[in-house]
Chains A and B, each alone.
Chain A
């Protein structure tokens, strides 16, 4: 597929992400307002950072006048998992992909865009992720803006339906390979179970849980069931 086609596919696949982001960003905007940010500051933050946990942390640090250095430290901790995701994405790219495209791709690594990009068969064309970014970044910023100005204006019913768009998309990504590959099916089931257990037992924050489970389960599977080059198991 050409870059252009990848871009268009990314635009389309990015729509569910945009819907989910919009719903989440409304709450984020509300938090920004409570922290005393103006609409411009909150929207700029969402355009520049695009990370829910990272922004929530940042807003509470700003509200508490925590100091620049402490805020940077907390921002680093809240975003630490993106280091690993950035590394994994780098391995998914053709080594020839240039600096500019790498910087742009890295700029908007989020849990969702990472998952979407990594699930592509074979090499990742950055254009695919750029397409998804084109619809999801404005949705994130717009949701934040509306959240600051008007709070939760959309009815709860629609907000809850919108936020499920994201999960529907995730399901559509991990179920087809789980159908073809028993190891992936087992991994998905185990991920559900452990993620649920961690939440019930209140072990780790959401971001930490995501990275700890991702690393441990994927590593376990890689050691026990290594895949052949490009191949899968039955």
Chain B
């Protein structure tokens, strides 16, 4: 067998183990208030850190990325749903890059 397949399987095994062990072993619910608060804040920090400044380098121009960020924030603030915000951010980049 090609050695590369061994590498791939070994990598997959490590990845699977890391991702599933806590989910399967730590099933007991932790009642501690600090832990629960921590878990409440986690997704927002994770998503915010992933969004910025990455959004500026994902696009062809820094400015189209920033425009998408601004449009996204305004729309989400006004209650537009997840899918709508996402599509309109894409359109913002498409349109603004026609001019940049």
Contacts and interface: CB of A to CB of B under 8 A. Distances in A.
Given A95-B29, A173-B82, A58 B72 contact: no
User: Number of contact residues on B: which range applies?
Assistant: 35 or more
A106 B24 contact: yes
Interface of B: 2, 4-16, 18-24, 26-30, 33-55, 58-60, 64-65, 68-69, 72-73, 75-77, 79-94, 97
Determine chain B's interface SS by DSSP, over half rule: helix
8 pairs of A and B residues whose beta carbons are closest in the complex: A168-B89, A106-B20, A175-B76, A191-B48, A118-B43, A222-B37, A171-B72, A168-B86
Nearest to B75: A172
Given A45-B8, A160-B59, A176-B79, A168 B39 contact: no
B52 to A, nearest CB: 4
Contacts, number: 292
Contact of A86 (B19, B69, B93): B19
Interface string A156-193: 11101111111111111111111100011001100110
B23 A58 contact: no
B20 A172 contact: no
